[in-house]
């Protein structure tokens, strides 16, 4: 999880301006970019582990589908908001209810 959070921070840092006062102010465009950053972070982690491109594609595609199918817009907004405030524990906590479902992606 720590590696994922670090990857996210590096990939998504351009999204931080302007900072929102609340999660409700996070835009659809920011959410789309955030989701792309999550997927890029997943792929980067797979490459660092030495996984095959096929395995990376399958796993990361499954993880992102699982997230998109199970995380509400409000939860996405909260996760991005915490990301933008450099609060990785809170960010991951928002998404943690879904992470057990990633086991089906392996």
Domain that holds residue 45: 2-11+28-105
Tell me if 23 is assigned to some domain.
no
Tell me if 17 is assigned to some domain.
no
Q: What pLDDT, on a 0 to 100 scale, did the predictor assign at position 4? A: 52
Tell me if 48 is assigned to some domain.
yes
pTM to 2 decimals? 0.79
Q: Which long-range contacts (CB under 8 A, 24 or more apart) does 28-35 make?
A: 30/80, 31/73, 31/76, 31/77, 31/80, 34/76, 34/79, 34/80, 34/83, 35/64, 35/67, 35/68, 35/76
Q: At residue 67, does pLDDT exceed 80?
A: yes
Q: Provide the number of structural domains found in the chain.
A: 1
Alpha-carbon 92 to chain mean position: 8
pLDDT in tens, 4-45: 554 555 555 555 445 678 998 999 999 999 999 999 999 999
Q: What pLDDT, on a 0 to 100 scale, did the predictor assign at position 21? A: 84
What is the rounded CA–CA span in Å between residue 52 and residue 47?
A: 8
Q: What pLDDT, on a 0 to 100 scale, did the predictor assign at position 11? A: 52
């Amino acid at each position: 999880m720590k590696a994922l959070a670090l990857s996210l921070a590096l990939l998504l840092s351009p999204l931080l301006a302007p900072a929102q006062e609340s999660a409700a102010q996070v835009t659809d465009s920011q959410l789309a970019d955030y989701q792309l950053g999550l997927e890029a972070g997943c792929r980067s982690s797979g490459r660092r582990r030495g996984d095959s491109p096929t395995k990376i594609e399958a796993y990361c595609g499954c993880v992102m589908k699982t997230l998109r199918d199970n995380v509400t817009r409000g939860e996405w907004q909260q996760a991005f908001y915490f990301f933008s405030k450099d609060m990785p524990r809170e960010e991951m906590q928002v998404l943690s209810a879904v992470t057990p479902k990633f086991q089906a992606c392996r």
